């Protein structure tokens, strides 16, 4: 077996960061399969253009013929699955893509990987891993006094996105218990950091603030999320891949519960410091409140003690350190930002938040 891994969805936000970090830390080759939908961005991988250990292939995890060819040609020792439609708001407007990619696509990936794995020699079969990256949103919502989500929390998804991810998690579990496929699953809290597509809260607020636009807050802004710096998440995935127990699920969180309004005010304060408005006014003056989205979960929180106890991982960044790095990255990377702020993206903002 060659020292190669196959990463699906490796041009997206978390997948792209994972590929960059992996190649910086490992000698292994990465075969990177991405469909390049709106959130897939080759500019994220521009620094790897001449790297012979990065092999990019544009394609869909639902394409069984393509998957079979890649697996047979490159014979990876592991597959890490980031490929997913992942935005709640988009799932409300158009759930079909989420069903197709997150459920049907995961099924096709599992079947392709199973066929490949079953033909491996015994030693290579024993060493092989499929790691499926999922979300805490499959667990539903928490009350203010509820304990954070543990791996034993029952699934109660409330949006088309989270329901489709819950279904994909169940498929991965079933392929392990039915066929013996050597799988691992991670469920993460809200990620933030470099290369985040700007329809998500943190990059949206940064870019709207700099452009002098309103900073839209859903409802009362008191929705609580556990914020995880993306580089910490990538480190957790590497650790689970290296030492996780087969068939197990590991929750990955940042131990950083913040309301949406707290997050927006933190960004505004950093921008006041790092790039003050020309008129001397605070960026917080741009905050506006918009109608809450349907089925908006009130609180997510992750109990990541299993991952720390069993595999020795815990996040390196606090929210204060991670959000400062994130804001600075957006201030320093105009070229990347301009590349993703397309007409299609602007149309989406109008649809979601109004003019």
pLDDT tens string 123-173: 999 999 999 999 999 999 999 999 999 999 999 999 889 999 999 999 999
- Looking at residue 352, its pLDDT comes to 46
Distance in angstroms (rounded) separating the CA atoms of residues 30 and 23: 8
Catalytic, 161? Answer: yes
Least confident piece of the model among 33-37, 89-93, 236-240, 348-352: 348-352
196 falls within a domain: no
Annotated catalytic residue, options 89, 137, 199, 226: 137
344, pLDDT greater than 60? no
139 falls within a domain: yes
Q: Binning pLDDT at 50, 70 and 90, where does residue 87 land?
A: low
Annotated catalytic residue, options 60, 85, 89, 136: 136
Catalytic, 137? Answer: yes
Q: Binning pLDDT at 50, 70 and 90, where does residue 341 land?
A: low
Number of helices (H), then strands (E), belonging to the chain: the values are: 14, 12
353 falls within a domain: no
Annotated catalytic residue, options 161, 218, 229, 283: 161
Distance in angstroms (rounded) separating the CA atoms of residues 121 and 126: 9
27, pLDDT greater than 90? yes
30 falls within a domain: yes
- Looking at residue 199, its pLDDT comes to 77
167 falls within a domain: yes
Residue 184: give its domain's CATH number.
Answer: 3.40.50.720
Q: Binning pLDDT at 50, 70 and 90, where does residue 339 land?
A: confident
Q: What is the DSSP string of 258-309?
A: EEHHHHHHHHHHHHHHHS--TT---GGGGEEEEPPPTT---B--B--HHHHH
* Number of domains making up the chain: 1
Comparison of pLDDT for 98 and 285, the residue scoring more: 285
- Looking at residue 295, its pLDDT comes to 67
Catalytic, 195? Answer: no
350, pLDDT greater than 80? no
* Strands, sheet with 190-192, edge to edge from the N-terminal-most edge strand: 190-192, 224-229, 257-259
Q: Domain range spanning residue 110?
A: 4-191+229-255+296-316
Question: Could you give the C-alpha distances from 169 to 33, 57, 81, 90, 270, in angstroms and in order?
Answer: 20, 25, 11, 20, 37
- Looking at residue 354, its pLDDT comes to 53
């Amino acid at each position: 077996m060659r020292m190669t891994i196959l990463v699906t969805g490796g041009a997206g936000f978390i997948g792209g960061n994972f590929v960059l970090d992996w190649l910086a830390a490992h000698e292994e080759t990465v075969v990177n399969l991405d469909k390049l939908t709106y959130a897939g961005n080759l500019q994220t991988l521009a620094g790897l253009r001449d790297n012979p250990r990065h092999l990019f292939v544009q394609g869909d995890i639902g394409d069984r013929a393509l998957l079979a060819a890649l697996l047979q040609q490159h014979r990876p020792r592991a597959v890490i699955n980031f490929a997913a439609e992942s935005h709640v708001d988009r799932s409300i407007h158009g759930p079909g893509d989420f069903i197709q990619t997150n459920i049907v696509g995961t099924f096709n990936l599992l079947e392709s990987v199973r066929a490949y794995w079953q033909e491996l020699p015994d030693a290579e079969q024993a060493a092989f891993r499929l790691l499926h990256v999922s979300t805490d949103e499959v667990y539903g919502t928490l009350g203010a006094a509820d304990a954070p989500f543990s791996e034993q929390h029952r699934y109660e998804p409330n949006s088309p996105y989270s329901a489709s991810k819950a279904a994909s998690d169940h498929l991965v579990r079933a392929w392990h218990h039915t066929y013996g496929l050597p799988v691992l699953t991670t469920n993460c809290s809200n990620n933030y950091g470099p290369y985040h597509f700007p329809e998500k809260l943190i990059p949206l607020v940064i870019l709207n603030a700099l452009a002098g636009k309103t900073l839209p807050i859903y409802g009362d802004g008191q929705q609580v999320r556990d914020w995880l710096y993306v580089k910490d998440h990538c480190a957790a995935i590497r650790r689970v891949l290296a030492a996780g127990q087969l068939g197990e699920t590991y929750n990955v969180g940042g131990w950083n519960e913040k309301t949406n309004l707290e997050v927006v005010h933190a960004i505004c304060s950093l921008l006041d410091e790092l790039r003050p408005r020309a008129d001397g006014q605070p960026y917080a003056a741009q905050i506006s409140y918009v109608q809450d989205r349907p089925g908006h979960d009130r609180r997510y929180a992750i109990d990541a003690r299993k991952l720390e106890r069993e595999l020795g991982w815990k996040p390196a960044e606090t929210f204060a350190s991670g959000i400062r790095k994130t804001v600075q990255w957006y201030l320093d990377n105009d070229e990347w930002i301009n590349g993703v702020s397309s007409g299609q993206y602007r149309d989406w903002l109008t649809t979601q938040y109004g003019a």
